[in-house]
Structures are given as C-alpha cells and as structure tokens.
C-alpha cells in the first residue's frame, strides 16, 4: 500500500469538491476540485520537464496559491519539494542547487536569466518560472501538458521534502522530511487544535518555511478547511479579515503589532476561535495584553525545521504565558545535562531532545552531522535549552549556542531579557555573550526603547540591581533602533555578536 501523503490529501479533497480551498482578496479562488485538477496538470508539466520520482524540485518564488498547487504536484509525482527563502541571494542559491542537485529549479519570471545561468553552473538541467499573478512558463507548460491523474506510490519513509535550516552557524543543512513525518504531524495538529471543514485560516506567513507551509497548509488540507492567502502581514488587512476568519497562525511580531492597535477588541475577534503563535518566543507581556484586549489566550507551540511541531499549549485548559505547553500525542521529550547527556530533574535547565514520527530522518548528504544530532535511540538534539515547570509545561530558555558562560557561570539570556523588558520604556531586548579578557564572555544587552522613552545605560543597570545576581548583569548596554530578525521573526543574535564583537577587546 502506497503511503504517498498526496493520497491522504486527495481523499479529503474529493469529499470537499467545490468547497473553497484557497482564496485571495484579489478574487482568485481554487476549490478543492480545482486544486485536484490543476495539481494533475502541474504534475504533467513536471513529468514533461524531466522530473522523476525522488528528484528534487527547488522552488524560489513569491507567495501565491499556485505554489501550493505545485507542492501538491510534486507529491503526486513522487518528487521531493525543496522551498527556498525568497530573500536568498544568487550566491546562496548557487550553494543550494549545487548541494541538492535538483532536476528542476522554479524561479520568479523576472530573474529567469540569472537563475538559468546559476542552474547551468551547478548542473541543474531545467528551469521554469512561476509568478505571483499566476503567470510564468510553468503554468504555460501545465496548460499544454497531459494531466497526470495517477499518484506515484511512495513508502512512508520516502522523502517528501527537504527544508534547509537558516544557516546562522556554518553551512545550511537540508533537513530530510518524509511522507510519514508530514502526515503524522498534520493529523496530530488537526486533532489537537480542533480543525474542521468549517474553519477559515487567515494566512499571512511565508510558505518556504515549516510554519507557513507544513503547519498551515497541511493542516488545512487534512481538515478540508479553507485558507485566505495574504502576501504578507498587513495590520489593515488583518483587521478587515478577522470578522470572517476562525483561525490565525502567526509569529510574535504579528501579535505585538495587533496589541499596539486600538482596533483590537473583543468585537473584531468575536468570530475567531484560535490564535496560534510560533517560530520565535512570545513574551508573557504580549500574551497577557492580547488576552486582556480580546478574551483570547494565544496558543503558543514549539517546532523546528527538522521536526515540524513537537509541543503545544492545550486547546482546552490553561495556555500558560512563557511556555510552549506539553508534548503532542506521539511525541516524547527529555531534558538532559549538556555535558553528560543524562536526564535532569524537573525544574532544572538542560538540553531538549525529542522523538516521534514527526522527527526527520537526517541531514541531506551530511551523515556526520546527522549522527551528532540524531541519536541511535531516535531522539533528536534540538539545540534548545529548556526546563519543565511544576505543572509539566515546558519553557524554552534559549538556544544552546546563545548560552553565555561568564566567569565560569552559566547565564541564560532569556532570564536577563525578561527582567530588562519589565523596565518601563523598554520595548524589547536581546542578551548575548561577547569575548571578554577576564570573564571569557561578557554579558551584553541590546535594548530597543519605546518611542519617546528616555533611558540610558545607567538606568537599565540600576533596574537590574537586586533583581539579578551580579554575574548575570550585563557589563554593557547598547541601544539599537531594532533587533535584527529573519523572515520568521527570530532575533539573529549572530548579527549582534558581529556588530559588537570588539566591545571588550
């Protein structure tokens, strides 16, 4: 029996027929029946372009409904979908094409010439274009191709996708995700978050990332619900659409912007049943302010490129600010000592490891890195430091690589950031370690102030007196206009470390 994820989707799509699948504010609409038919045409185009089962299809295009149909077509023909961040430069694309060796590269129409040159350099045999306005050579090919209705059989552990990690340290790694990985996680989330055919998801996330692609779109397909595709987050548009939506998935930046707007009221969110946040930590302040303004407690969850979703606050029950909840059904976790690898007691900080059917099978062509991070017993070392509180909720303390060791003491950046953020006039902060001649690393903070606030280094340091042990207090405070973030809202601390590297030298 084939385990191709598309077959699971197809049965639901056939049931839903002419019901909405993807709509846009510009009036474009694909019903489930339309999506089945168009994905068959695109599958025919992929075959005509030389794509075979197991081949990689690299995709760097702007967000559009047609991209999701292309993803479905890749599943149909048994190829491996490889979405690439739209912000990647030519040099970065050259690395990805050389590493993944795709059979086809799908790019924006306006960069076709440059993309073709890179493809030729890296040995990629075919290039096609796909534009945000349903234009480009791929759709032209699909219009003329013989639709491919049959679905290529796949085993559960065959690859469905490769997602490259952000590569903040060293080369980007291609996380290999199987049909089982994606199917199990989508099924689990439909149940955990109570998705059904009546839901309308407001989708303002990018779709080259786990959150916007596999969480949002796979769950929609599995539940047979509908999704409103927005090109990006725009508060004006979100407020117009909230009365017609039931679910929104976002990054913390979405929610901080909504909380800052006086239009956020119980009335405008009355039709909504669920707000989900992920991809970066949500502050307790934002969580509490959103609930006070709307009556909705944001559901924060925890996932990774390599694993999709691992933990979630409960749909029914307390959604605790500052936590990512409990393991999802089928997912196991353990928190271990960074040095010995042995489990630590509840309440102590250690390295978070996860195991389950959602966990990837390794890094593309990096067997040594795979062995380092994916252990023989199936647990994956996430690289995140965490602890379990007295009620069994997991708190993510920070990335292991962001841990500051100053004078032999461990300093967890999030603990320091939380105290700084309590100071009136502070919008947000980021704590890093920088080379220090005496302490090894010096605790250092970058602070973003609220408009009109008059804070200086001395006032922030004074606020920390008596609230943090001396060794945890920053040796320097820098004020910045904004913290550097990637497209999913994660603070890029490596950029801050580079910027202030010479502080103590």
Classify domain 200-399 by CATH architecture. 3-Layer(aba) Sandwich (3.40)
Quickly count: other Cβ atoms within 10 Å of residue 187's Cβ.
18
* Helix (H/G/I), strand (E/B), else coil: 343: strand
- Is it true that domain 30-154 has CATH number 1.10.287.130? no
pLDDT of residue 408 exceeding 80: no
Compute CA distances 355 → 38, 365, 467, whole Å.
36, 22, 37
DSSP 8-state secondary structure symbol assigned to residue 283: P
What's the distance, CA 40 to chain centroid?
28
- Model's pTM, two decimal places? 0.87
From the list 472, 468, 470, 492, the residue with the least C-alpha distance to 480 is 492
Give dist(CA 195, CA 371) in Å, integer: 36
Find out whether 235 and 262 touch, Cβ atoms under 8 Å: no
pLDDT (average), residues 236-257 = 95
pLDDT tens digits for 204-222? 999 999 999 999 999 999 9
Give the relative orientation of helices 179-192 and 5-16 as an angle to the nearest 10 degrees.
40
Q: Are strands 394-399 and 380-388 parallel, antiparallel or unpaired?
A: antiparallel
Quickly count: other Cβ atoms within 10 Å of residue 199's Cβ.
21
pLDDT of residue 167 exceeding 60: no
pLDDT of residue 46: 98
Common-topology check for domains 30-154 and 200-399: yes
Mean pLDDT of the chain, nearest integer? 94
Angle at 480 between CA 476 and CA 486, to 5 degrees: 115
pLDDT of residue 438 exceeding 80: no
In the chain, % of residues over pLDDT 70? 99
Burial class (CB in 10 A: 0-12, 13-18, 19+), 76: buried
pLDDT of residue 410: 79
pLDDT of residue 203: 98
pLDDT tens digits for 91-121? 889 999 999 999 999 999 999 999 999 999 9
pLDDT of residue 308 exceeding 70: yes
pLDDT (average), residues 429-453 = 90
Phi, psi of 307 (to 5 degrees): -135, -5
pLDDT of residue 437: 77
DSSP 8-state secondary structure symbol assigned to residue 397: E
pLDDT tens digits for 322-379? 999 999 999 999 999 988 889 999 999 999 999 999 999 999 999 999 999 999 999 9
pLDDT of residue 409 exceeding 80: no
Each domain of the chain, given as residue ranges in start order, spans 30-154, 200-399, 403-499
What's the distance, CA 257 to chain centroid?
19
Compute CA distances 235 → 257, 263, 289, 497, whole Å.
7, 10, 17, 32
Find out whether 30 and 21 touch, Cβ atoms under 8 Å: yes
Burial class (CB in 10 A: 0-12, 13-18, 19+), 425: middle
pLDDT of residue 486: 83
Find out whether 82 and 162 touch, Cβ atoms under 8 Å: yes
Compute CA distances 277 → 34, 120, 212, 231, 322, whole Å.
30, 40, 11, 18, 12
pLDDT band at 166 (very low <50, low <70, confident <90, very high): low
Give dist(CA 27, CA 23) in Å, integer: 7
pLDDT (average), residues 379-399 = 92
Q: Pick the residue with more confidence: 87 or 448?
A: 448
Give dist(CA 380, CA 378) in Å, integer: 6
pLDDT band at 169 (very low <50, low <70, confident <90, very high): very low
In this structure, what token pair is assigned to residue 330?
Answer: 């089928």
Angle at 269 between CA 265 and CA 271, to 5 degrees: 150
- What Rg value do the Cα atoms of the chain yield, rounded? 23
Mapping DSSP onto H, E and C, the string for 93-127 reads HHHHHHHHCCCEEEECHHHHHHHHHHHHHHCCCCE
pLDDT of residue 168 exceeding 50: no
pLDDT of residue 170: 57
pLDDT of residue 253 exceeding 90: no
Q: List the alpha helices (DSSP H) in 152-307.
A: 179-192, 210, 216-223, 235-241, 252-259, 284-294
Task: Report the top-level CATH class of 403-499.
Answer: alpha beta
Mapping DSSP onto H, E and C, the string for 137-196 reads HHHHHHHHCCCCCCCCCCCCCCEEEEEECCCCCCCCCEEEEEHHHHHHHHHHHHHHCCCC
Give dist(CA 382, CA 394) in Å, integer: 14
pLDDT band at 28 (very low <50, low <70, confident <90, very high): very high
């Amino acid at each position: 029996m084939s385990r191709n994820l598309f077959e699971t989707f197809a049965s639901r799509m056939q049931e839903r027929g002419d019901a909405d699948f993807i709509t846009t504010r510009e009036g474009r609409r694909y019903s489930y029946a339309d999506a089945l038919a168009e994905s068959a045409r695109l599958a025919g185009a992929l075959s005509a372009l030389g794509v075979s089962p197991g081949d990689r299809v690299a995709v760097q295009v702007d967000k559009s409904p047609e991209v999701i149909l292309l993803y479905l077509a890749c599943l149909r023909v048994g190829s491996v979908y490889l979405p690439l961040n739209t912000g990647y430069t030519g040099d970065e694309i050259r690395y990805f094409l050389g590493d993944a060796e795709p059979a086809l590269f799908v790019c924006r129409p306006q960069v076709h010439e440059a993309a073709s040159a890179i493809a030729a350099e890296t040995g990629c045999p075919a290039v096609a274009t796909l534009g945000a306005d349903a234009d480009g050579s791929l759709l032209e090919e699909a219009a003329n191709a013989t639709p491919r209705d049959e679905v290529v059989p796949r085993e559960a552990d065959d690859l469905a996708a490769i997602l490259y990690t952000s590569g903040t340290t060293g080369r980007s790694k291609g996380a290999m995700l199987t049909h089982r990985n994606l199917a199990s996680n989508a099924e689990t989330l439909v149940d955990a978050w109570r998705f059904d055919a009546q839901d309308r998801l407001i989708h303002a996330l990018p779709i080259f990332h786990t959150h916007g692609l596999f969480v949002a779109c796979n769950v929609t397909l599995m539940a047979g619900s509908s999704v409103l595709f927005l090109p990006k987050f725009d508060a004006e548009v979100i407020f117009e659409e909230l009365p017609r939506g039931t679910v929104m998935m976002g990054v913390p930046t979405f929610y901080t912007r909504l909380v800052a707007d006086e239009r956020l009221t119980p009335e405008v969110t009355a039709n909504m049943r669920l707000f989900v946040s992920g991809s970066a930590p949500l502050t307790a302040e934002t969580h509490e302010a959103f609930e006070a303004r709307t009556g909705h407690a944001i559901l924060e969850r925890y996932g990774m490129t390599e694993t999709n979703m691992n933990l979630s606050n409960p749909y029914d029950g307390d959604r605790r600010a500052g936590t990512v909840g409990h393991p999802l059904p089928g997912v196991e976790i353990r928190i271990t000592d960074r040095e010995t690898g042995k489990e630590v007691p509840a309440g102590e900080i250690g390295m978070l490891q996860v195991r389950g059917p959602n966990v990837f099978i390794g890094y593309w062509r990096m067997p040594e890195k795979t062995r380092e991070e994916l252990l023989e017993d199936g647990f994956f070392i996430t690289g995140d430091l965490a602890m379990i509180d007295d009620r069994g909720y997991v708190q993510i303390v920070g990335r292991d690589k962001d841990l500051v060791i100053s004078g032999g003491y461990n300093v967890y950046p999030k603990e320091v950031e939380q105290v700084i953020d309590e100071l009136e006039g502070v919008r947000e902060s980021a704590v890093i370690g920088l080379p220090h001649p005496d302490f090894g690393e010096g605790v250092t903070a970058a602070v973003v102030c609220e408009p009109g606030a008059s804070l200086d280094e001395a006032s922030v340091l004074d606020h920390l007196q008596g609230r943090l042990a001396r060794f945890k207090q920053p040796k320097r405070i820098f004020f910045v206009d904004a913290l550097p973030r990637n497209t999913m809202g994660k603070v890029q601390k490596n950029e801050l470390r580079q910027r202030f590297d010479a502080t103590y030298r």
